[in-house]
Amino acid sequence: MSLNWNTITGPQVLVDSRKSKRNIKRMQEKAASAHVALRPHFKTHQSVTIGKWFGKPEETPIAVSSAEMARHFADAGWQDILLAIPMNPRALPAYNRLAREVRFGLTIENADSLKAIARLLNPVDVYIEIDAGYGRTGISWRAHETINLILEQARTMPQVRGLGLLLHAGNSYTMRGEHGIAQIHEESLQRLAELIENLHIPQHELRISVGDTPTCSRMESFLGADEIRPGNYVFYDWQQQRIGACDWPDVALAVACPIIGIYPERNEVVVHGGAVHFSKDSVSIDGNSVFGQVMHQTANGWGSPIQGAQLVSVSQEHGKVRVSEAMLKELELGDLLIIVPAHSCLVMAAFNGECTVI
């Protein structure tokens, strides 16, 4: 599709379909050659249009992170949906409706949640979240006894269709480069293997779901896992580039922002594009929080990063961009800057999944 830049009036998300589809295909090929299933996490894009780039809805198992998101994709034809966040007992009626309509999976991390599941009228898959070192949610991989108790209880319940273990090695986000990612990857899988050895239930009765974008992007083997569950790779972003999970040409999402102020005395411009568009997620450059990287504009999208041109602060609707003296001289009010955000998932959430596909 050819892009008419003149139709862009305000901050607008651009998705480069060629790059995104290439990212999707690459992960599918990797999963196939690693002999694991792929369950992409759809919280990154939240878009039905983009969701269909992954394949036919009825043939694509997905992960989501809220009951609303599950409802959104169930209504659009997806039929195997895993809620990859610990279940919320208050959302039981929503879960029940979903479980009636699709193959629906819930994530739990304690025996109490089984009491809520016992009140469901339709069966669900139940995944126990394992914390293998990230320290956000999940039961410690060392807590064999607790996990065995939950599995034994769950396995007897008529509301439980399939049983699994779920792992998200979010600590891979603190790494830099393939070596660091590999370290977290190996540590997590090793801890999972150690746990599985100590379970009373045979491994083949459990579905093992792992994954986060850095490890899934850079690692080739997922020994012990039945499926991988990355999400961000559909677009990537500046954080992923910094981690080393992708390279600049893989980044498939940017925000086009019009320049509304030019300040030669401080080598800055201000764009319409602020915290409500970029979120306040950042990367750390020389100890400073930076919110986006300005890219070279091309006829139909963007190319490489412009050295020294970065979104250095955001308030609600304003974004302050530092540029070189030479670049500033070329800029005029109303020109667009194409900015790759720190974190594309939060940008798509801020725009409610609305974007211009190029």
Position among 90, 197, 287, 299 found at the interface with its own copies (CB under 8 A): 90
Residue type, 330: E
Per-residue burial over 47-56, b if 16 or more Cβ lie within 10 Å, else e, is bbebbebbee
Shortest Å distance, C-beta 190 to its own copies: 22
Part of the chain binding its own copies (CB under 8 A), chosen from 87-95, 201-209, 210-218, 323-331: 87-95
Among 117, 154, 184, 350, binds its own copies (CB under 8 A): 350
Distances, alpha carbon 120 to alpha carbons 97, 155, 159, in Å: 9, 15, 7
Contact stretch for its own copies (CB under 8 A) within 146-154, 156-164, 220-228, 275-283 = 275-283
Q: Where are the beta strands (DSSP E) in the chain?
A: 12-15, 37-38, 62-64, 80-86, 103-108, 124-131, 139-140, 160-167, 206-210, 227-228, 253-263, 268-272, 283-285, 288-290, 292-298, 301-314, 318-322, 336-341, 356-357
Q: Tokens 């899988």 — which residue?
A: 189
Check binding of 288 to its own copies (CB under 8 A): no
Per CB under 8 A, does 290 bind its own copies?
A: no
Report in angstroms how near the CB of residue 39 gets to its own copies at its nearest: 17
Nearer Cβ to its own copies (37/262)? 262
34 versus 349: smaller Cβ distance to its own copies: 349
Task: Please give the C-alpha separations between residue 342 and each of 58, 214, 291, 310, in angstroms, as whole numbers.
Answer: 32, 15, 5, 11
- Give me the 238-267 binding string for its own copies, x by CB under 8 A, dash otherwise: --------------------x-xxx--xx-
298: number of Cβ within 10 Å:
11
User: Binding residue for its own copies (CB under 8 A) from 193, 346, 357, 358?
Assistant: 346
Binding-site ranges for its own copies (CB under 8 A): 8-10, 43, 65-68, 85-91, 93-94, 109-110, 112-113, 116, 135-137, 140, 170, 258, 260-262, 265-266, 270, 272, 275-276, 279-282, 315-318, 320, 332-334, 345-346, 349-350, 352
